Amino acid sequence: MVPFRYRNRTDAGRYLAESLAAYADSPKTLVLALPRGGVPVAFEVATRLHAPLDAYVVRKLGVPGHEELAMGAVAGDGTVVLDDRLIAALGVTQDQFDDVVGRELAEVRRREEAYRDGRPEPEVSGRVVIVNDDGLATGSTMRAAAIALRRRAPASIVVAVPTAAARTCEELKSVADDVVCPYTPEPFYAVGLYYDDFRQTTDDEVRALLRKAAALEARRWSVA
């Protein structure tokens, strides 16, 4: 039996925000969400920290024929993170790998255009970037995100998720300046097991939350 469960991603985001209070009300703080499931979590975090929110799209590279199994991940700037041992063990060919990368990179760019509504990408340089998702198992997509973001010279990168495998959190410390995760059950199973409601977040929900966050940010600046 799972000892603890979040009600939904909104509940998880509110809980996670409590662990990130030190980053509140700072002009340097920027919250980025890994869509789609990370956006409802990150919206609550950004709202409570009084920080801007945007999406940062990274896609898992699924093994051909076993797409639920991640052999790596790709970010919008083309950064690819690989699980070389898994690729070798399963005999994934270069042509198969290139096909998956090309398909997922196209999806990354489609989502970036769809979610941003013409808004420019946020400035990352010199910012404290908090990267949210709804949970981490292997952490391949989060690792790709952190590595890609590092190239844009942030002041620091904080990986923050409501639940994750403890080993994954430790491994991510090699690419992030801080890793915040309130709940690391052992043994760790699928992320969805730690939520009562883990229904898929839709593109429309992502767009609506990002628009709402942009409106809140504009309002903060107007009264500042």
pLDDT digits (tens, 9 = 90+) for 70-113: 898 888 888 888 888 889 999 999 999 999 999 999 999 888 88
pLDDT for residue 3: 59
Assess if residue 41 is contained within a domain: yes
Asked if residues 17 and 48 have their Cβ atoms less than 8 Å apart, the reply is yes
Assess if residue 4 is contained within a domain: no
Helix (H, G, I), strand (E, B) or coil at 59: strand
Q: How many domains does the structure of the chain reveal? A: 1
Assess if residue 147 is contained within a domain: yes
Assess if residue 1 is contained within a domain: no
Over residues 18-66, the pLDDT tens digits come to 999 999 999 999 999 999 999 999 999 999 999 999 999 998 899 999 8
Q: How far is Cα of residue 159 from the mean position of the Cα atoms in its chain?
A: 8
- Between residues 113 and 12, the one the model is more confident about: 12
Assess if residue 3 is contained within a domain: no
* Residues of the domain holding 214: 9-223
Assess if residue 175 is contained within a domain: yes
Q: What does the buried/exposed string (b/e) look like for 70-102 if buried means 16 or more CB atoms within 10 Å of the residue's CB?
A: bbbbbbbeebbbbbeebbeeeebeeebbeebbe
Assess if residue 105 is contained within a domain: yes
Assess if residue 200 is contained within a domain: yes
Asked if residues 51 and 31 have their Cβ atoms less than 8 Å apart, the reply is yes
CATH assignment of the domain containing 33: 3.40.50.2020
